[in-house]
Structure 1
Amino acid sequence: MRSDPATPALPADVAAAFAVFPEPIRLRLLEARRLIFATAAGTAGVGPLTETLKWGEPAYLTEATGSGSTIRLGRPKSPQGMGAVLFNCRTTLVGTFRDQFPETFTFQGNRAILIDPSAPLPAGPLAICLAMALTYHRHRP
């Protein structure tokens, strides 16, 4: 895996959380992690991200600017074998993503975009969703 200067090294506790994911899911979620940092770097007003653990899962916060809603990476209880990009269920984010990308993603309720580790990551549409989450507090209804 090549190093990207825009993506910081994994903090030890976050690396340990990624290590428990089965390899195909871990690799796809690490790809999503790189996209989160790249999207944050390319989105005005987001600022630096805080990478930490929330509920034992890698989480990405806009603590410095308060511009966005927390994004987490994890696994849903079902369906098995999938990864997930999770969002605060009290936001309108997943509903907005569902309206904008009904054929692109599989959603879980109002909290997650499911990621199939056997399929390519839909990076373009996912980056749009991530940018919406990272700027949610600037544009929320």
Structure 2
Amino acid sequence: MQQKYTILELYGQYSELQKAKLSELYELITTSGEESLNQSLKWNQLSFAAKNGTPVRIDRYSEEEVALFVHCQTTLVEQWRGLFGDRLTFSGNRAILFSVHEELPVEELKVCLQMAFNYRKGKK
């Protein structure tokens, strides 16, 4: 049986704002419609992987930001910049950053998650 982790278990020492924003990300990911989503820990970060995709991880990035991370050797962040460069903030080729003080860009995130969870399907 797959281990389920909670934001409080993993990130209990984080600020209330960080935990709240990570909880929002967690909820969005787990309700993304991806049926084969596997939850695990990678580098002490909550990781979600789909059979045909590349894993995404969530964690704090700074005191004021949390992030959705992807493997730096994918082309996902480059693609997301092309689609949402005017609406999302990125870190290099590995993450989308979210302020703990602002609403999550839900519609954009749904697109990004679907692209990540189907990344290898598109590579075949």
TM-score, with normalisation over the residues of structure 2?
Answer: 0.89
| Match of residue 69 from structure 1 | 54
| Correspondence list, 1:1-141, <5 A | 11-12=4-5, 15-39=8-32, 41=33, 46-62=34-50, 66-76=51-61, 79-140=62-123
Across the two proteins, how many residue pairs are aligned to each other? 122
> Is the CA contact (8 Å cut-off) linking 1:84 and 1:112 kept in structure 2?
yes
Three-state SS of the structure 1 residue aligned to 2:74 is: coil
Measure, in 2, the Cα distance between the counterparts of 1:13 and 1:127: 21
Does 127-136 or 29-38 show the bigger shift? 29-38
Amino acid at match of 1:60: F
Three-state SS of the structure 1 residue aligned to 2:48 is: strand
Query: Between the two proteins, what is the percent identity of the paired residues?
Result: 30
Q: CA deviation at 1:68?
A: 0.6
Measure, in 2, the Cα distance between the counterparts of 1:83 and 1:109: 15
Measure, in 2, the Cα distance between the counterparts of 1:13 and 1:131: 22
4+ runs of 1 displaced by more than 6 Å? none
> Is the CA contact (8 Å cut-off) linking 1:71 and 1:87 kept in structure 2?
yes
Unaligned runs of 5+ in 2: none
Measure, in 2, the Cα distance between the counterparts of 1:80 and 1:126: 21
More strand as a share of residues: 2
Q: What is the root-mean-square deviation in Å for CA atoms of aligned residues?
A: 1.9
> Is the CA contact (8 Å cut-off) linking 2:54 and 2:118 kept in structure 1?
yes
Unaligned runs of 5+ in 1: 1-9
Three-state SS of the structure 2 residue aligned to 1:119 is: coil
> Is the CA contact (8 Å cut-off) linking 2:65 and 2:99 kept in structure 1?
yes
Q: CA deviation at 1:14?
A: 5.8
> Is the CA contact (8 Å cut-off) linking 1:18 and 1:58 kept in structure 2?
no
